[in-house]
Amino acid sequence: MNELLRTLPRVDDVLDTITEKIPRTVLLDCIRKVLDNCRNEIIKGEHKSAPFFSEQKIAEKALALAKSRLTPKLRPVINATGVVLHTNLGRAPLSEYVAEHVKQVAMGYSTLEYDLETSKRGSRTEGIENLLKNLTNAEAVCIVNNNAAAVLLTLSALCEGGEVVVSRGELVEIGGSFRVPEVISQGGAILKEVGSTNKTHLSDYGQAICEETSALLKVHTSNYKIMGFTEDVSMKELANLAKEKNLRSIYDLGSGSFISFAGEPMVQQAVADGADVICFSGDKLLGGPQCGIILGKKEYASKIRKHPLYRALRADKLSLAALEASLSLYLDMETAKAQIPTLTMLLASDEELKEKATRLLGLLNKRLNAKLQKVSGQAGGGSLPLQTFESWAVAITQGEDLTVEELEKHLRGWKIPIIARIHRDALLLDVRTIEAHHFYEIAECFSICN
């Protein structure tokens, strides 16, 4: 053991063998880390000969470790799962137009809170407010960092100390085990459940109203549906009741769509139905950046803006730049459908998807056992739980020398990680979420499978 320990090279000797441009401090730390690991392996008796610890081998391990440390954890991937709003992969991708606008804002100074006409301090959300008012007919707008924050802020500003009436069938849990009852409690309000899990009537809300009632809250169950013997109260009915009783009506719309999907309430309709405050996400069906959007009556928006939490939860300049650019595309709905990736993917026709899959299949290594396969999936991101999206995929059941599981791991380890899914012993590359310019990258990845 002592003889092997003495054969370990010096740090400087290893450093001299590395010619790649890696920051010296990072390399030194990685070389020391690798040498420490080697000493521990020798002491544990895991190696019996010196060749395992040559300068070259130590240098290779240290260089790999250094490159790993210098590679950002947050990096681009190719989404081949078919799930458009894949939460783990960042939900809605931004269009090239939006990304370019964000890049320009990020790389220099901007008019974030500067009015070019008056040369005085301006509003950071004025452009967004004007767009949303135009698109939805809402009176006022507030922007925060996500929809959970939007609901929390709204409850804190408008309902603290009072009761908030909610249907039992709408006590939603979103990702990360965050639940509506907990958000209401954190907002300083008191939850008052009405109705049953499957049926809630307008009279249930009416009977629950008392002196302590602050608001009637409707929560859109955007990530699940209760089927069968069911009944719920529409936002319009709830808004009318709230107005009659001099209460606030709040609508947690969740996914927030500006176009019509089967069974999905639209933001414009929620405003028309008379909800006093509406909250929804920017990075779901809207197809924009992560943020929480609050639309409401002027008097309530003013109270929300004055609440201390508003500054703590407000969106940053890059999110605001991405949101404003995304919303501008909605000024013409056909432009939005063509340029917002989320909409383009969700609205792609069967013919378009099959043609894409055929092109991808034609580029792949002919020694792969691959074929076209019809598949189905969902929008993802807690949206459209009942809507199935039919698509086409390239299905691979065997690589040249690799199993399906080994192929999937190989894809994840590629220079641009390719995230696919395995279903019934086949690796599926669903083309709904694959950009056509990534086809050659995927083909190159498969061409060197061994």
Q: What is the DSSP string of 17-39?
A: T--S---HHHHHHHHHHHHHHHH
For all residues of the chain together, what is the average pLDDT?
A: 91
Task: Identify the CATH number of the domain defined by range 2-70.
Answer: 3.90.1150.110
Q: What percent of the chain stands above pLDDT 90? A: 73
- The highest-level CATH class for domain 96-339 is alpha beta
Query: 237-265 burial, b for 16+ CB within 10 Å, e for fewer?
Result: bbbebbeeeebbbbbbbbbbbbbebeebb
What's the pLDDT band for 176 if we cut at 50, 70, 90?
low
C-alpha 129: how far from chain center: 23
Mean pLDDT over residues 352-373, rounded? 92
What's the pLDDT score for residue 16? 87
Q: Which fold has domain 78-87+344-447?
A: Aspartate Aminotransferase, domain 1 (3.90.1150)
How many alpha carbons lie under 13 Å from residue 409 in its C-beta half-sphere?
6
With a CB cutoff of 8 Å and minimum separation 6, the contacts of 202 are 233, 237, 238, 241
Residues 286 and 327: their CA atoms lie apart, in Å, by 8
Q: Which amino acid is at 411?
A: L
What's the pLDDT band for 403 if we cut at 50, 70, 90?
confident
What's the pLDDT score for residue 51? 61
Using an 8 Å Cβ cutoff, are 141 and 280 in contact?
A: no
Residues of the chain with CATH 3.90.1150.110: 2-70
Residues 169 and 221: their CA atoms lie apart, in Å, by 9
Express each pLDDT in 107-162 by its tens digit: 999 999 999 999 999 999 999 999 999 999 999 999 999 999 999 999 999 999 99
With a CB cutoff of 8 Å and minimum separation 6, the contacts of 250 are 154, 155, 158, 159, 164, 215, 216, 217, 218, 275, 276, 277, 278, 279
Residues 30 and 298: their CA atoms lie apart, in Å, by 58
pLDDT over threshold 80, residue 1: no
Q: What are the structure tokens assigned to 62, written together?
A: 């240290």
Helix (H) or strand (E) holding 404: helix 404-412
What's the pLDDT score for residue 2? 79
What's the pLDDT band for 7 if we cut at 50, 70, 90?
confident
C-alpha 22: how far from chain center: 33
Residues 313 and 319: their CA atoms lie apart, in Å, by 12
What's the pLDDT score for residue 57? 87
Mean pLDDT over residues 366-382, rounded? 87
What's the pLDDT band for 274 if we cut at 50, 70, 90?
very high
For helices 317-329 and 96-106, the axis angle rounded to 10 degrees is 150
Radius of gyration over every alpha carbon of the chain, rounded to an integer in angstroms: 27
Nearest to 428 by CA among 393, 400, 404: 393
What's the pLDDT score for residue 75? 93
C-alpha 60: how far from chain center: 37
Residues 314 and 150: their CA atoms lie apart, in Å, by 9
| Helix extents (H) in 188-297 | 202-208, 235-244, 267-272
CB-neighbour burial class of residue 102 (10 A; exposed 0-12, middle 13-18, buried 19+):
buried
Express each pLDDT in 227-260 by its tens digit: 788 889 999 999 999 999 999 999 999 888 999 8
Using an 8 Å Cβ cutoff, are 183 and 175 in contact?
A: no
Residues of the chain with CATH 3.90.1150.180: 78-87+344-447
Residues 290 and 54: their CA atoms lie apart, in Å, by 49
Beta strands at 421-423 and 426-430: parallel, antiparallel or unpaired: antiparallel
